[in-house]
Structure 1
């Protein structure tokens, strides 16, 4: 048996958990704003805000940043820091104060993060940022004022999001026709080529080949076969299906630095632990019903496992005591299965939504009936004054009736929740053209008109594996002379020195380090921000330098004058060596550049990576700068962990 919770406990877990994820996200980006988005940062937010029209702020890329900057007469980057700090503050409020876990506060949180994402550009263009926004809008529904059986619908929407994300992530891996996924060899390269591996990734990389192949096959089972079970009206089956997904997240978190994503998805899976609207309803299930649920759950899960074993050729080899695995279906067969599977997923989701609505109506009716039949306490003079009519009115006033607070709550959940539910099929069905073509035009139009709010998004994690021949890694070198000597500039978390163990920076995301991974897959000409980074290093920008692990140019007699970049291929070292990595030089990534080169400055201006306006530092700016200086007394991952630990402790003891 699995542990199931009533709806209100699930609701509290989702809201507090979402607030903790917000706290991680806001504190992480706050630390990095001056370096990434400052007026002399890598991608200045001021360069975007300068294009806004003061007479029409709503059409600005981020109206809140624009309005704060103008109304308070502060720099745009200071406005962005205020937004992040407000996000931290409201996150802590919703963790610590029950009364703040309402519609208004969660609406503020999602709008604050949206304001940052809108100007975040390259450094905030990740699927977990989109997920945080979409889940944020759902939490506005979950947190709708008051508690009522309508919460059954809002928690269903959370399960639906988790199911869509994971199902699509599994499907796109095979749709990409990536040979590593089809050959079940993705984990042969994943652990050493992912953006920011952890030390445990090195050990996972050393596991035998058959185990890595089986792990890939199991990943497909977890991502494709189990998510549709999140939607079924069988609480035990939902919980059983969610547990392997949570375990998968723990495994990914142990071997890779994926910031708050794994925590966030595991939180969404917690909605699958909902067993009923009340704890008495869960306990009230008779033995017969619980036993039937158990049998059905085992049957459905077992049937899925058997089908998976057939499709992925799972066999035990007694000669080697290993489990063999191999995809047994063709690409054409997979395309047909995708059409069938997506169609089933969509229809099950719609049917489950209708069933949850019916469950809501039945629960309201039962509550109203039970309350109406409860006799009013007698007064000292004898019989109480309330008759059946008065009791019904009391139920309605207290929120128990469909025309009272319950009705208002249900109307909001149904209205906004239905909007999120139906429009989510537009981005979800991109995995299947046939399903996508059946989407009504009105839903496409609504989704298109509201896409800037990121109410719903498409997902597809780890679509293709890169680095089959090794991990491409950019090493930036600097010198005071054109002919060297060249000194390596190490980043905070990404691989550099082969003797240094992979970093563990969870739950923080050092976004510059992440983008360096993507830049290594292309050229510097296609990554304008990279030239901006080089320009900031040549100008000795303190904020940008603060994001690095070391700065070898402290000698004023030999200042940094030239910067170049080399492309290496990194691989995990063998177990019998004393280093963590081995590397080999491939070619020059970027030739030597000098400070304030006219060509570079023109290129940066064309890409809105340099400000054209001089900004004065006012008293508010100075206060914000001083506050950030205090925050930088801690290393960036320590700062984020400290705020996160504070939030977690609040959730446990308040």
Structure 2
């Protein structure tokens, strides 16, 4: 079996970096999103103060229930948790000794605590994915607490079992992402035209998205077909017994994630997905030498595993890709592609294959456990160490079986029949543990939005109902048609993201939008700092309105009516999104009072008197709410510099 010591350390380092991005990005947005004067005050989402372990874990398991005991209000408590997450993840990033079970347990607890009060601004699949991956990282991280007369090795043979759980999570993520596109019956995904809309309609496009959008339709349709191949059949190679096939699967996933990073700002999500791909590798990939015992393998077997098997599998995969997507080369060097199977064919295939995905997981996990147990018995020389290694392997194998079994509930949701066949007790336990988000279902880009034009809500303010309407520009989302397309990942501007979702529906389905309007009508500084520029710097406007526009990428083709030399976007006014509102509008005030945004007398204001609280307020005063991308990258750059100095000096 290939060694995983170096691989595991690379995985832990990458998880440290992802946590650092997540906490740092969230910290700068706390006052505007969750502060007492923010869009969705977190104090309104916190049900109770905990006076016992039972109260701490019931309902919302969050450490914020304990912060009043430290003399902190909810906003300052969130600052404390976020700063703690930044410090711990930074320490893990720069110090190998810090990457242990204690550090990653704290990181998971801190992020779960933030998620519990994050409301709509943290209800994203990547936040849930980070929590599940973070929980698995606790199982993977070494136990480095020193106990007298008892030494713990920095790595163990059972590490292969816990790393397998990450591989299974990656499989579920990618397989589901491909399946839901076809399950949704979205005509753009079935017509392979989704990418002709995606780059224009995604939340925050990058500059390269504009250029990618200009590619010919045949190329984008072929890219859509290849996306299906990377997301649906290739994940089965994650469990291949042939090393070269696993490495091929790694680079296929890496290619997809890099393309997404180049063309879209999806915060830390793609970096987290790449991190989940690391268990597909081994120490040999990272330059570690194999032991002499493993070099002398039979040449015929090496020929089959290194050449014959990969060629056979990849050849079959290529043949099926050409057949199922009717790929044909034309005389003009363009390529035609279309889906050659029906929705009924796909439904039957999915119903057939889902039990086999579960069977594959059982066989693969069983193989890993068996090989680990054999290695414990064969390679450990002392009887006491044999017993200790086997005991650890059995314990972690039991945990892996439990995690795998729980994960079958969200995984099987892709097919109703398979889902209904699971034991009732598995559903019960999954429901009991659901608040901890240790396993969940995924599936990105289920339906392609904005097919007839990218919807955007434009907010404007004025002191006169008839004239002088000035537009509020956001930091990153499209508004000004000539503003450059930003690169903002791994920072996630959560208000900009929710504005994208708001445009897909109505303000009635996004009640936080009314809170935002009220904060703008009162020139609330914390909220305005989440935006690009306040068009009313002295006094707030008397009136605010919101209008729905459709945005379109301009074209590089001079013959196209959307051609422009200076603008990235063209836009068309569609309809009213929300009628003109003033600060004293009775219906809005009644709603805000009902939601306790204003006039809340039920909760007692906690005056911060503790030294810790004053210290957190001082840090917030120094940091403020800086531009998120620069803040995140400055901390990450500092960590890289420390890593470099460690290499050069030590």
Task: State whether TM-score is above 0.5.
Answer: yes
- Structure 2 residue 26 is matched with structure 1 residue 43: no
Contact map agreement 1:8 1:278 (CA 8 A) in 2: no
Return the offset for 1:289.
Answer: 3.2
Q: CA deviation at 1:103?
A: 1.7
Classify 1:652/1:596 alpha carbon distance in 2 versus 1 (closer, same or farther; 3 Å): farther
The reply to whether residue 642 of structure 1 matches residue 637 of structure 2 is no
Map 1:34-433; keep pairs closer than 5 Å: 34-49=31-46, 51=48, 56-59=55-58, 61-68=60-67, 70-145=68-143, 146=153, 147-274=155-282, 279-280=290-291, 283-294=295-306, 295-317=308-330, 319-368=331-380, 372=381, 392=382, 396=384, 401-404=385-388, 406-433=389-416
Q: Deviation string for 1:372-422 (max 9, x for gaps)?
A: 3xxxxxxxxxxxxxxxxxxx25xx3xxxx2322x34532442232222111
Q: Secondary structure at the match of 2:533?
A: coil
Partners of 1:649 and 1:547 lie apart in 2 by: 29
Q: Tell me if structure 2 keeps the 8 A contact 1:48–1:608.
A: no
Cα 1:321–1:408, aligned 2, differ >3 Å: closer, same or farther? same
**How big is each residue's C-alpha offset from its partner over 1:509-535, in whole Å with a ceiling of 9 and x where there is no partner?**
000000000000111111111011111
Change (3 A) 1:336 1:233: same
* Alpha-carbon displacement from aligned partner over 1:224-248 (angstroms, at most 9, x marks no partner): 0100110222222111112111110
Matches for 1:446-485 after TM superposition, within 5 Å: 446-485=429-468
User: Which residue is 2:607 aligned to?
Assistant: 616
SS at match of 2:574: strand
SS at the partner of 2:474?
Answer: coil
Q: Cα offset for 1:91?
A: 0.6
CA drift of 1:130 comes to 0.8
Does residue 20 (structure 1) correspond to residue 17 (structure 2)? The answer is yes
Q: Is the 8 A contact 1:53 1:60 kept in 2?
A: no
Task: Give the Cα separation in 1 of the matches to 2:111 and 2:270.
Answer: 19
Pair 1:284–1:635, CA change in 2 (3 A): farther
Query: Any idea what the Cα deviations from partners look like across 1:46-66, whole Å, max 9, x if unmatched?
Result: 112255576744435244102
Trace 1:504-543 onto structure 2 (pairs within 5 A). 504-543=487-526
Relative to structure 1, is the Cα distance of residues 263 and 463 closer, same or farther in structure 2, using a 3 angstrom cutoff? same
- 8 Å contact 2:238–2:280 — kept in the other structure? yes
Aligned 8 A contact 1:569 1:585 in 2: yes
Secondary structure (helix, strand or coil) at the match of 2:127 reads helix
Q: Name the structure 2 match of 1:571.
A: 552
On the 8 A contact 1:138/1:417 being kept in 2, the answer is no
Report the Cα distance in structure 2 between the residues aligned to 1:61 and 1:596, rounded to whole angstroms. 35
SS of residue paired to 2:387: coil
**SS in structure 2 of the partner of residue 584 of structure 1:** strand
Write out per-residue CA displacement over residues 74-132 of structure 1, whole angstroms, 9 at most, x where no aligned residue. 21011011111111111122222323222222111111100111111100001111110
Distance 2:289 2:593 in 1: 59
Looking at structure 2, the residues matched to 433 and 299 of structure 1 have their Cα atoms a distance apart, in angstroms, of 33
Spell out, residue by residue over 1:422-475, the C-alpha distance to the aligned partner (whole angstroms, 9 max, x if none).
110110010012221221122111111101111100000000000010100011
In the TM superposition, residue 645 of structure 1 has moved relative to its aligned partner by 2.2
Alpha-carbon separation, structure 2, partners of 1:447 and 1:263? 27
- Aligned residues of 2:5 and 2:283 also touching (Cα < 8 A): no
TM-score, normalising length: structure 1: 0.91
CA distance in 2, matches of 1:13, 1:625: 36
5 Å-filtered alignment, 1:536-615, equals 536-556=519-539, 559-575=540-556, 576-577=563-564, 578-607=566-595, 609=597, 611-612=600-601, 613=603, 614-615=605-606
How far 1:595 sits from its partner (Å)?
A: 1.6
After TM superposition, the score normalised by the length of structure 2 is 0.91
Are the counterparts in 1 of residues 132 and 437 from structure 2 also a CA contact under 8 Å?
yes
Q: 2: CA distance between counterparts of 1:316 and 1:426?
A: 43
Q: Secondary structure at the match of 1:49?
A: coil
Q: CA deviation at 1:19?
A: 0.7
1:255-313 deviation line (CA, Å, top 9, x unaligned): 00000011110111111012689832664545433322122122112212211221111
Please tell me the root mean square deviation across aligned C-alpha atoms, in Å. 2.0
Q: Cα gap change, 1:446/1:50 in structure 2, threshold over 3 Å: closer, same or farther? A: closer
Q: Does 1:438 align with 2:426?
A: no
